[in-house]
Structure 1
Amino acid sequence: MHCLALVISLIPIVTTVDVQKNNSLKKTYFGRRLRFNVHKTLSLGIGRTPNFKERLIREEELFRSNPPQNCELITTSRNLRIWLVRITGLEGTIYEGEPYTLKIIFPNDYPLKPPIMYFLKPTPTHEHVYSNGDICLSALGTDYAPNASVSSLILSLVSMLSSAKEKRRPPDDQLHAQMPPGESDASYVYHDDKC
């Protein structure tokens, strides 16, 4: 296998990227390997942004021009780091017509780290949404990929909500609910393969 190894310095983090014959990238950082398609990343222009601000401007433009179904960007802060998104439950789901507000905070090392997403109160009663608003979704944790757009992450969240058959809280909600939303530094326990 012929590989081209590049070392990219982003802030104080060093990332190694291997380009393979099949045009997929394997990215290693913090000991974790991620794989994503070169063409998809480069065609979106998301995986190669020169800086944080430009990436967020493109993300906002992408979201406003083609938002996920039943989602609306309510506001962004002046520094682009905080978004509020209104999600209305899709027709035919147990959340049909119910409006929820999602808060998104972009950390300094975004996109290497996922955005922090949580629901403001009232939160949806869902087996992967804690009553404090935190969301147990692997796309925001262990399965996060730096080339994922905010729109695609929200689409994963909408899909998770839409697939619910009953309204209930996670089994460990009582332990987690006392923490401030978005500040959990503990890893989530994924209770099933649907989150």
Structure 2
Amino acid sequence: MLPADFDTAGVDEAGRGCLAGPVFAAAVLLPPDYAPAFLNDSKQVTARRREVLRHDIIREAVAWAVGEASVAEIGALNIARASYLAMHRAVAALSVRPARLLVDGNRFPPYPDLTHTCVVGGDTIYRSIAAASILAKTFRDERMRELAAAYPLYGWEQNAGYPTAAHRAAIRAHGPTEWHRPGFRLL
């Protein structure tokens, strides 16, 4: 994995493929020598290690921020545009303005006055993108656990809103909630 660059923010999102809940994104600037064990794409790291990494990233980052786009925004914009909105919100919330952005994926609408580079699979190549992946995933999972307390029939504390068989069975049995994404094929 390539080293971090203290003036470049990594950007990634989490929850794009879910049936329920907001989409989250994170932007992270790391110090050049930051290289914790197990830092990788959030999908390649266990939940326990993600939580350890989350706290380490928050403590060690030069700057970090999380943004989100609501279910209503996903419905109004579509999931791709809502993901970009969440990414832009994360970049805007950084306490330190980066010189440039490294974005996981193949598309990104330009952020005002910042250059960016899109990198497919960037969360397995660049530490700053991997750190953003960890933060976006852990903050989103935390939100879905909170929502699960109010909507216990859907198993969001386990499936985080993703289209599992159990989640779809719950939708079939109990109908969708206001947290289910309009326009998504729920069943």
Q: TM class by shorter-chain length?
A: under 0.3
After TM superposition, the score normalised by the length of structure 1 is: 0.24
Which protein has the bigger strand share? 1
Which protein has the bigger helix share? 2
Larger Rg: 1
The answer to which structure, 1 or 2, has the higher relative contact order (CA under 8 A, 6+ apart) is 2
